[in-house]
Structure 1
């Protein structure tokens, strides 16, 4: 099983679009890059996706390879395969962490999610997301809080794993 991303943090974005990646995230990127050697900078793929996606999703090389294999298993020429290829291959940006542990986010990606002076990183298991902090609070955090508020007071999220193979 591949290492997982864990945690969340805020990081400054400079005028050139450079942003530091959390150190723990860099270790997972290294472990998830089959070509990575000690002293090398790990590779990753940033999927920016369609107009409805208001965050950047960052995949290790192994994680995006898994997605690519699942897409390739769909019938060639099917609408589902063509759309997934467009969303995950066409609307993505392969990149490398620089020698100082930063990503350089192109202006197109920063503009798509409205990223300016600060980025919010949040782990999502085998990927991590980069958000404009205000958008995360207004959209995702609000959605999570609303979902939890619908649950009984004694709700334990681990109960959702019952029957999930664990």
Structure 2
């Protein structure tokens, strides 16, 4: 059974970059790490991306392996493959949860997204994101302009209708 990252959490970040990962997120990380076993700490991959990324995207090991499989199916040398390899391999780091359920973010990553004092965790089903809380509030619905197929002011659940088994 595939577990999903759900919910949101605002957690403290100490001066060394340590922050608690929500307990439900830790269970998903454990389930998504093929090498995890009781008593060990699960690994995850943090994608920090280029200058335009204002958040960190965190993947279970199984989820990033799926992304990598899809990238490897693309033509070698194609611009899309190169861009995706850079994002998901070069601009990413593998780490693990510590013994107390915390994540330790290097200063480079904290500075990139402006973390100071608090971190906002946002579940996104197969990944979770870490944001500066103010940035998240500013960008949560950025780019969701109304068009023929989407109304940003509508209850998003209306878009589930008719999308099954397509």
Q: TM-score, normalised by structure 1?
A: 0.91
Partners of 2:20 and 2:160 lie apart in 1 by 33
1:132 aligns to 2:132 (yes or no): yes
Match of 2:157 in 1: 158
1:87 aligns to 2:87 (yes or no): yes
Partners of 1:10 and 1:152 lie apart in 2 by 25
Partners of 2:152 and 2:46 lie apart in 1 by 37
1:66 aligns to 2:66 (yes or no): yes
Q: Runs of 5+ in structure 1 lacking a partner? A: none
Deviation at 1:79, TM superposition (A): 1.2
Q: TM-score, normalised by structure 2?
A: 0.91
Q: Secondary structure at the match of 2:94?
A: strand
Partners of 1:70 and 1:52 lie apart in 2 by 23
Deviates more, 1:155-164 or 1:26-35: 155-164
Q: Which has the higher helix share?
A: 1
- The number of aligned residues is 162
Superposed CA offset, 1:44-101 (max 9, x none): 0000011111000000001100000000000111111111100110000100000000
Partners of 2:84 and 2:47 lie apart in 1 by 12
Match of 1:121 in 2: 121
Whether the 8 Å contact between 2:145 and 2:151 is mirrored in structure 1 is: no
Partners of 2:157 and 2:92 lie apart in 1 by 33
CA gap 1:163/1:35 in 2 versus in 1, 3 angstroms: same
Q: Runs of 5+ in structure 2 lacking a partner? A: none
CA gap 1:32/1:137 in 2 versus in 1, 3 angstroms: same
Match of 1:102 in 2: 102
CA gap 1:120/1:144 in 2 versus in 1, 3 angstroms: farther
Match of 1:42 in 2: 42
Partners of 1:121 and 1:73 lie apart in 2 by 31
1:20-59 aligned within 5 A: 20-59=20-59
The alignment yields a C-alpha RMSD, in angstroms, of 1.9
